[in-house]
Amino acid sequence: MKFFPAFFQQFRKIFFCSAVLILLYTISRLFFWIHNNSLFSNYSAVDVFNIFFRGLEQDIASLLLLNAPILFVLFAGSYWQLFRKIVFRYTQWAFLLLNLAGLAINILDIGYFPYSRHRSNLDLRYVLSDSLSSFKSILIGYWPLLLVLLLFSLVVYRLSRYLFGSTEKHFPASWQSIIINQVVFIFLACLFMTGLKRTIILPSTPLLSVASDKLPIAQNSVYTFAYSVLKRQEQLGAKKYFTEPALDKMVVTAHRMHHTGPMDHKNVIICILESFSRGYLVPGDFYKAKTPFFDSLIKKSTFFPNAFANGFESNQGIVAILGGLPAFLDEPFYYSIYANTPLHSIGNILKERGYGTHFFMGANKDHFGFEKFGRMAGIDHFYNRADFNDDRFYDGNWGIFDEPFLQFGSVILATQKEPFLSVFFNISSHPPFTLPEDSKKKFSVPGQTAAQNSISYVDHAFSHFFETSKKAAWFQNSIFIFCADHSLYLEDGQPNTPVSASEIPIFIYDPGSDSGSVNESVMSQVDIAPSILGLLRYSGPYSGFGRNVFDTSNGIGYALNKPGSLYQIIDSGLALDYDANREKTELLYHYHDNLYYKRNLVDSLAFAERKKKLEDQLKATVQRYREALTKRSLE
């Protein structure tokens, strides 16, 4: 049969193109590792081999995921005599665009990983759509990655010409050849999809031989993104770690707060600091920025030196702060299929108690979907770039510079009836850390990075905001809460882990007391709402995963988040990383010392009891979270 030489000629082309594409993925993985090298440490030659071997599995699975439909058409289309030219023309373009998209998402993660701390997932589509306004600055800041993508594009284009150049000449149209052709194709597809093994490849499969802290290096962003999309409906499948009575003793989401006497109807001002690491504000820290106002305010506030974020992105932080939900989904909660879960957190509660509710952010309307979520969380009034209505102060990327917009907010609040809840979400500390032209010289501090300079500008902006607000009647009858939406990677040369990537500043200032204190409790974003309600002496129901840190009867505090594929729980000294897919603890370590991952205590008998306690608390929280969202009830 003439079929076999033609088939193997075509198969040889496919094999060559696949090998080149795998090489491009390997190069992008190497660039990913080099660019983010400071985030990974303590690897041996065996680690390197395992990372690239498991990475090869992920790459093969990703290539097949992208190209299986194309290969099917490439083979089967040879027999469609009437439409052959049209079929192959569009198939060639599909091959080119899909493979370029696959490489692009891997290259994008090279630069984005320090901010997200995980390979791309479903959340990427929301992040990209809300970042278009800053596209120019992103290209300028990451032009080497753009150059790499252009070079990869040229290679993929040449591959498409090579693969499809003479396809129409192949395969005589006989039913025997069609059957053999497709049987061989299906066999190869199954072979590659299982990674030459009998187990289906998952984004977490590299954990079989790669340490959890190095998992992102071995992953392929195409596969993590596709898996997140395909598993969207199933990502909160039921977990039955504990019986309901046992679960009720460990994790409660339907709280009832009790206080004697009337509620204190103070105004509540929540200041969400964009991209703030705790290291910017902690005295003596290597990365401490010049922040004279925040430094002075912290001395008069209740400061939490053991505060952590429940997520790694803005759309996760705001849900934790205002909704009391940790970030266990791959996409923003308010875009998920669970978005109709009723919330009864601080915004909803204070509105029921007669508070006006306001949200200030100098970006465009509904930036990152914050207005959508804000309305779910009980916020009625929103103020944005359009309301400010003066683009002379537009930063060219995200919105109105912080100083003028905070002044705008102060003026608005002076006209509002008390009491009110007001949320301020600043933007100037977001990359690319743009400064106003007339302030660049003042805030370009010698020895500071661009990020630190922007922090100094934000400090000045809030200083000016306080100066103006102190003149208003509402100021003395208010409580101010400062909290970051998420941390930011500090380029200080120190070992970096999901714990250090979670470290954020939280402090609470009450002008009425004006006396400073330090609270050593482990606190996270979900604890903010119940703690503020406690300070207001609120009595009534509250729904969420947090606790009132001022109530010592609540026991030991924990912070939970989900860096990539693993769940993480942090207590006063240890961090535990757990893989819920394999039901296995991957890592247990002291996070206060500089060893970080170098000493894994998972198998240490001395820490067996503490490990079990952390595991149980994490499992109980995961089980309760899944129940709360799938049943649409936080009660």
For residue 352, pLDDT beyond 90: yes
Tell me which of 11-25, 134-148, 573-587 is least confident.
Answer: 134-148
Tell me how far apart the alpha carbons of residues 263 and 353 are, in angstroms, rounded to a whole number: 9
In order of their start, the domains of the chain are 3-230 (no CATH), 265-555 (3.40.720.10)
Report for 32-36, 269-273, 430-434, 439-443: range of highest mean pLDDT: 269-273
Closest CA to 584 of 235, 237, 236, 208: 208
Which own/partner contact pairs does 91-97 have at CB distance under 8 Å and 24+ positions apart?
A: 91/164, 92/160, 92/163, 92/164, 94/69, 94/70, 95/67, 95/70, 95/160, 95/163, 95/164, 96/156, 96/157, 96/160
Which one is predicted more confidently, 49 or 178? 49
Radius of gyration of the chain (CA): 27
Report the SS3 class of residue 553: helix
pLDDT band at 365 (very low <50, low <70, confident <90, very high): very high
pLDDT at 364: 92
Tell me how far apart the alpha carbons of residues 528 and 319 are, in angstroms, rounded to a whole number: 12
Closest CA to 378 of 241, 477, 268: 268
Q: Model pTM?
A: 0.82
Tokens of 251: 């994790």
Tell me how far apart the alpha carbons of residues 330 and 326 are, in angstroms, rounded to a whole number: 12
For residue 395, pLDDT beyond 70: yes
pLDDT at 79: 57
pLDDT band at 142 (very low <50, low <70, confident <90, very high): confident
Percent of the chain with pLDDT over 70: 84
Q: State pLDDT tens for residues 243-275.
A: 999 999 999 898 899 988 899 999 999 999 999
Residues 6+ apart with CB under 8 A from 625: 236, 325, 326, 328, 545
Which one is predicted more confidently, 359 or 228? 359
pLDDT at 65: 86
Tell me how far apart the alpha carbons of residues 68 and 60 are, in angstroms, rounded to a whole number: 11
For residue 601, pLDDT beyond 50: yes
Amino acid at 456: S
Tell me the pLDDT of the chain averaged across its residues: 86
pLDDT at 187: 64
* Average pLDDT score over residue span 370-385: 94
pLDDT at 564: 83
pLDDT band at 171 (very low <50, low <70, confident <90, very high): very low
pLDDT band at 535 (very low <50, low <70, confident <90, very high): very high
Q: Is the dihedral of CA 487, 252, 591, 43 positive or negative?
A: negative
pLDDT at 175: 53
